[in-house]
């Protein structure tokens, strides 16, 4: 489940790839496509996109 500012919740599908090194740094790439999002005043839409995540895990 993903949430986007000002929009209702929507499920969807996607996949991702991530790597984490021994130092604790990680890098991930995710490709997502939402299900149809219903709006009251606008046409229904979908959200598609890529997400890149850089992270660090403290030990």
Q: Which residue has the higher pLDDT, 56 or 9?
A: 56
pLDDT for residue 42 is more than 80: no
Given pLDDT bands bounded at 50, 70 and 90, which one contains residue 55?
very high
Distance CA 50, CA 15 (A): 10
Average pLDDT over residues 27-53: 82
- Residues found in the chain: 59
The dihedral through the CA atoms of 30, 17, 54, 2 has a sign that is positive
Q: What is the domain partition of the chain in residue ranges?
A: 14-37+48-56
Nearest to 30 by CA among 49, 56, 54: 49
Q: Give me the mean pLDDT over the 15-25 stretch.
A: 94
pTM for the structure as a whole: 0.56
């Amino acid at each position: 489940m993903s949430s986007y500012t000002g929009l209702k919740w929507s499920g969807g599908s996607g996949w991702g790839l991530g790597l984490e090194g021994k130092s604790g740094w990680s890098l991930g790439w995710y490709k997502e496509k939402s299900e149809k999002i219903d709006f009251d005043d606008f046409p229904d839409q979908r959200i598609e996109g890529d997400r890149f995540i850089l992270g660090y895990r403290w030990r």
